[in-house]
């Protein structure tokens, strides 16, 4: 959509205008679409801004024909260069490499009509300037067919709720509930004396949950997981599926989840596939130090007021459980 392209290029022009004038666009998809985006970005800068030029539009095919971002990796770091990386092409085609990790700006460009900023270096813009609106845009484009793509995961959600120890009378909060796939199982577990809240920051996801009838078993609220509209020590159980690795500051996000949980309450961090399987789905490999890796998740949780009590990462499930200290 032209409006979405205009929103993204205007935001980038605003945060990059005082910066260095050299930009490199690296694309794994259609070079023509990358060049068109680069042109729109250059045109978005105000006349009073520094002269801006797009240095190159580089593909990811290396000299030997292998699919990796060698084109970016050979560029020498420079103080006058801002690297803008476009994630392009079909899923599974390109693996994330050093180039993307070096870029100050990463844009999901698989749909050239709906670009979404997925990373802005904090030196360029505070996370509150872009994270909420861009994340909503990312999930809004996927909400309508989310259940048709992933609906066969429902039994895994039910099993995760069972393993999380949700009991009759509990207050259970599904943070980042999406289309509400966990809500029926949570409602059945807490029974008529309990309460279930489903919170998500994407209106389209909540609308899909209501269309699926999941608003009948839970209270659905539009909310940012980093600033929950919930009183302190409210929840007995926090269910967080596919949430933590999307948070820009995991410790701050986990601390907010701890705030709304009573002492002794439970946090269940879940995904219906294991980490390696999820990484492969997105065309990348696991790296040391990722937030959900067992060696890092335990300290992150401890810093946020949780004690990690169980950790499972198998092909059909990721489930980490913690107790509010």
* Predicted confidence (pLDDT) per residue in 4-13, tens digit: 999 999 999 8
Q: Answer yes or no: do 75 and 135 share one domain.
A: yes
Stated pTM of the model: 0.86
- Domain final position from 119, 140, 161: 140
Q: Answer yes or no: do 40 and 160 share one domain.
A: no
- Domain final position from 117, 140, 163: 140
Range of the domain at 166: 147-324
**Per-residue pLDDT band at 150 (split at 50, 70, 90):** confident
Which long-range contacts does 38-44 make (Cβ < 8 Å, 24+ apart)?
Answer: 40/5, 40/6, 40/9, 41/9, 41/12, 41/13, 41/84, 43/9, 44/6, 44/9, 44/10, 44/12, 44/13
Number of folded domains that form the chain: 2
Segment 118-131 shows an average pLDDT of: 92
Q: Answer yes or no: do 226 and 315 share one domain.
A: yes
Q: Answer yes or no: do 161 and 118 share one domain.
A: no
Work out the angle at residue 108's Cα, subtended by the Cα atoms of residues 210 and 283, and round it to the nearest 5 degrees.
95
Tokens of 210: 């209501």
**In whole numbers, what is the pLDDT of the chain averaged over residues?**
85
C-alpha 201/C-alpha 205 separation (Å) is 8
pLDDT above 90 covers what percent of the chain? 60
- The per-residue pLDDT for 36 is 85
Largest CA distance in the chain: 65
Give tens-digit pLDDT for 40-95: 888 888 776 655 555 555 543 333 334 444 444 444 445 567 788 888 765 434 44
Q: Answer yes or no: do 176 and 303 share one domain.
A: yes
Q: Answer yes or no: do 76 and 153 share one domain.
A: no
Q: Are 106 and 100 in contact (CB under 8 A)?
A: yes
CA distances from 283 to 28, 93, 142, 280 (A): 12, 6, 18, 5
Q: Answer yes or no: do 133 and 192 share one domain.
A: no
DSSP β-ladder status, 195-200 and 53-58: unpaired
- Domain final position from 140, 156, 190: 140
């Amino acid at each position: 959509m032209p409006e979405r392209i205009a929103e993204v290029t205007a935001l980038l022009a605003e945060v990059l205008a005082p910066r260095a004038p050299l930009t490199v666009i690296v694309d794994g998809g259609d070079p023509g679409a990358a060049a068109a985006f680069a042109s729109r970005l250059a045109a978005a800068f105000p006349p009073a801004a520094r002269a801006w030029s797009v240095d190159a539009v580089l593909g990811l095919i290396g000299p030997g024909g292998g699919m990796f971002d060698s084109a970016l990796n050979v560029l020498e770091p420079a103080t006058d260069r801002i690297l803008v990386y476009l994630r392009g092409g079909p899923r599974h085609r390109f693996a994330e490499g050093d180039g993307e990790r070096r870029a100050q700006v990463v844009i999901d460009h698989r749909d050239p009509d709906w670009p979404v900023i997925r990373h802005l270096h904090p030196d360029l813009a505070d996370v509150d300037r872009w994270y909420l609106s861009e994340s909503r845009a990312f999930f809004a484009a996927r909400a309508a067919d989310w259940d048709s793509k992933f609906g066969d995961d429902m039994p895994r959600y039910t099993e995760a709720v069972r393993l999380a120890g949700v009991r009759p009378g509990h207050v259970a909060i599904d943070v980042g509930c999406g289309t509400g796939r966990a809500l029926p199982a949570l409602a059945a577990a807490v029974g008529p004396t309990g309460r279930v809240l489903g919170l998500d920051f994407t209106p389209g996801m909540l609308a899909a949950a209501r269309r699926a009838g999941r608003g009948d078993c839970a209270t659905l609220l539009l909310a940012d997981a980093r600033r929950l509209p919930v009183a302190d020590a409210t929840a007995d159980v926090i269910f967080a599926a596919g949430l933590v690795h999307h948070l820009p500051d995991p410790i701050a996000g986990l601390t907010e989840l701890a705030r709304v949980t009573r002492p002794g309450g439970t946090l269940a961090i879940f995904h219906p596939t294991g980490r390696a399987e999820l990484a492969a789905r997105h065309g990348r490999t696991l790296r040391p130090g990722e937030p959900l890796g067992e060696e890092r998740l335990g300290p992150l949780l401890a810093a946020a007021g949780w004690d990690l009590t169980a950790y499972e990462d198998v092909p059909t499930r990721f489930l980490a459980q913690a107790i509010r200290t």
